[in-house]
Chains A and B, each alone.
Chain A
Amino acid sequence: MARFIERHPAWALIAIIAIAVVLWLVFAIWPPGLEAAIGRKRVFLNAVLNGITLGGLYFLVASGFTLIFGLMRNVNLAHGSLYLFGGYIGYAISTWTGSWILSFIVAFIVVALVGVILQLAVFRRMEGQDLRQTMVTIGLSIVFADLMLWVFGGDFYQIQTPAWLIGPIQLPLLTAIKSSGEPVYLQYPLVRLVIFAASVVIGVAMWLALNRTRIGMIVRAGVDDRDILAATGVRIQLVFVLVFALGAGLAGIAGVVGGTFQSLSPGEDTRFLLASLVVVIVGGMGSIPGAALGAVIIGLAEQLGSVYIPTYAIVVTFLIMVLVLALRPQGLLARR
């Protein structure tokens, strides 16, 4: 941090001013002139929170994707199918047992098993052959999409939010002061906050596991040099299977999350594959903090875009991707 400020004083100044402006926008009561120019503060705060919580969902999908890529250098384009499959499993479990929590556990396990099968039956046979892997996973994603359409049909499924999560809570953020002097606090859906908190917990746990445990050390060593790691006697194939299972399971969990605060239907698989591709390209392929940063940026861009420039909202995401590719092609937080 200090080194960054020493090296780029101008950029650091701009960053500090930007952070100060954002903090002021979030905590201050907006003067009437500002409200007239860009709308009410409630709308802005909601869009920001929605962007961050949507980013939590994107992070869950993209972190598995980036983890698999980081270790095995394999671009799994069937990752979106794993997301949708996890969602359907979660739906089936939650309607069958009525338990929302259980649907996460089962979705994680089942989709992780699918990941293990994929790694053993497909990727192991074509290690290091990028193009072949890419083509095969595209093919698999098409097959999976049609199989799921066959079983679940074209209908929309929504996983029931448990009763204790329905409804809004009051956040300690002021949106306005009524003429009577009574402060108005922000109301926000509880379920989105819980899901965001869960994705932060998962993200931190993953970061700790990668940086503070032996397994994490092996994985990191594998990212840097697989061959040397194998030569030191580590059973690298087992590590591959574990990482693949974890990445796939995360996609499965994300499917349940997506089915709870959005909905599941054919076509969601490609939408989330695309989202996670954009997220990891912006954040940096193979980097977990990169996936987190990318997810929040894309989530914010989508939500703020849909409020302030609704007609062009879809373009904003891709503009960000183009900018990152032009200025920092390896991604914002990639090491190289």
Chain B
Amino acid sequence: MLKGSVGLIALGSLLLSGTAFAQEKIKVGVTATLEGTYTVLGEDGMRGFQAALNVLGKKIGDKELEFVVASTDATPDSAVRAVRKLIEQDKVQILLSPLSGDEGIAVKNFAKTKPELTFINAASGAQETTYVDPAPNFFRYNMDGAQWQVGLGKYAYETKGYRKIATVGEDYSFIYTQVFGLVLEFCGAGGQVTNRQWVPLGTKDFASVIAALPDDVDAIYLGLGGADAVNFLNQYQQAGGKAHLMGGSIMIDQTILSSKGSAKNALVGTIAASGQADTWEDPGWQKFVKAYQDAFPPAKRFPSPSLLATNYYGSTMALILALRQVNGDLSNNQAKLKEALAKIEIDAPNGKIKLDSNRQAIGTNFVTEVVDDGKGALFSKVVKVIPNVNQTLGYDPAVFAKIGLPSRTVPECKKY
């Protein structure tokens, strides 16, 4: 009895003190793919997010940011479920979501049903998300999959001398967008893409896919990520594959380059393009790499941040800086915050980023080549830096619109 009443009093005082000292909080919901094929990507995204908080802090004037994290598995319905849960149960006011391409399209559409809230894309990169019927309250501070391939096609054709290539990719919007960017540039330069193979996300057994790879091409482009990429490389090694490889942005990335086993060594010398390069010497990038390395012990991170960590870092940075500009004012359906977000230019680790009229990032892209650092660790080395890449990839918007939306067969291999 006595114990019980003491407990009650203690609980009561705790509650009272809670209200007495409570700062006003701004609740932000975060999603990442912490399940399924892209688990590794989601985990590293969260590391980038944590690194941003370490650098920038959680204070917005006299308010404090509070975060609620939800897990998804790269399917659109899991993302909408997570976002809905964050809004309805956890009452978050701002969303930092999602990670993967199909999720992005679904969350953008969902954002339209909650026009009063603000959605900041965490890392997803399908073109459709901000290009087709964009949501006014959805902001994307990373480039899309096609922007991330700028420079690769020309480099492959002109410097490497590849004339005919084939592609293997996961069958969903982000990889369609990546292949879109690659094919436009490679075929524009005069190359040929003879064959495009699509495999379901989460494929386990690649043996038959590997057997079906054509052998009369100069290189094979891999648009795979996470566990799929690791499975593919393992089985590729077992099958004794020796073709020249080219990689997409989540294929040539620390999530794969630091995977266990020797299968990844097939990637040494592979050319790729992405929104970052591991060995870039820019001081801003080096500072970010250091912040990332300092935030976690070596066993719990990659040697260098992945593209996902960089994207989560950039998105979190944009959110915190914009909130500080408006001093955490979320009144009037967050109008001031949205205005600030649309105008803000951030010095992201991977170059300056600003938004276009669709609230889509214009940023810097990198062509890279995989190198071994001599101790068995693989990194992507800068070959070329291309600033100011916009969503229409430098094409006239009217011409770009005629190409069509990225899909299994679009774009055709020709000069537009």
Contact = CB atoms under 8 A, between A and B. Distances in A.
Contact of A158 (B211, B212, B230): B230
Given A158-B260, A166-B237, A168-B240, A50 B211 contact: yes
A262 B36 contact: no
Contacts of B43: 155
Interface stretch (A41-49, A109-117, A236-244, A319-327): A41-49
Interface in A161-195: 161, 166-168, 187-192
B211 A267 contact: no
B227 interface: yes
B238 A161 contact: yes
28 contacts: A43-B208, A46-B210, A46-B211, A50-B205, A50-B211, A154-B36, A154-B39, A154-B71, A155-B39, A155-B40, A155-B43, A156-B227, A156-B230, A158-B234, A166-B238, A189-B207, A189-B235, A190-B238, A192-B238, A261-B235, A262-B205, A265-B36, A303-B205, A303-B207, A303-B208, A306-B205, A307-B208, A310-B198
Given A167-B240, A262-B204, A160 B261 contact: yes
Interface in B206-264: 207-212, 226-227, 230-231, 234-235, 237-240, 260-262
B34 A154 contact: yes
A43 B211 contact: yes
- Name, among B204, B226, B237, B262, the residue most crowded by chain A CB atoms within 10 Å (CB to CB): B204
B35 interface: yes
A156 B211 contact: no
Contacts of A265: 36, 39, 227
A263 interface: yes
B227 A263 contact: yes
Contacts of A155: 39-40, 43
Given A156-B230, A161-B238, A192 B207 contact: yes
A251 to B, nearest CB: 17
Contact of A263 (B35, B209, B211, B230): B230
A47 B77 CA distance: 33
Interface residues of A, number: 35
B237 A154 contact: no
B206 to A, nearest CB: 9
Interface of B: 34-37, 39-40, 43, 71, 197-199, 204-205, 207-212, 226-227, 230-231, 234-235, 237-240, 260-262
Per DSSP, are chain A's interface residues mostly helix, strand or loop, or mixed?
A: mixed
B238 A168 contact: yes
A160 B261 CA distance: 7
- Name, among B36, B199, B212, the residue most crowded by chain A CB atoms within 10 Å (CB to CB): B212
Contacts of B35: 154, 266
B399 to A, nearest CB: 31
A189 B210 CA distance: 11
Interface in A252-289: 261-263, 265-267
Contacts of A46: 207-208, 210-212
Nearest to B34: A154
Contacts of A188: 239
A189 B205 contact: no
Given A47-B208, A156-B39, A187-B240, 10 more contacts: A46-B207, A50-B208, A154-B34, A155-B43, A158-B234, A166-B237, A166-B262, A188-B239, A192-B238, A263-B230
A279 B235 CA distance: 25
Nearest to B241: A168
A155 B38 CA distance: 9
A54 interface: yes
A54 B205 contact: yes
Contacts of A267: 36
Contacts of A154: 34-36, 39, 71
A168 B239 contact: yes
A50 B238 CA distance: 13
A168 B242 CA distance: 12
A9 interface: no
B238 A191 contact: yes
A328 B238 CA distance: 39
Given A158-B260, A160-B261, A267-B36, A262 B231 contact: yes
- Name, among B198, B240, B262, the residue most crowded by chain A CB atoms within 10 Å (CB to CB): B240
B260 A160 contact: yes
Contacts of B212: 39, 43, 46-47, 307
A257 B34 CA distance: 25
- Name, among A42, A153, A156, the residue most crowded by chain B CB atoms within 10 Å (CB to CB): A156
Nearest to A310: B198
A156 B391 CA distance: 34
- Name, among A53, A189, A267, the residue most crowded by chain B CB atoms within 10 Å (CB to CB): A189
Nearest to B209: A306
A54 B206 CA distance: 11
Interface string A299-324: 00011001100100000000000000
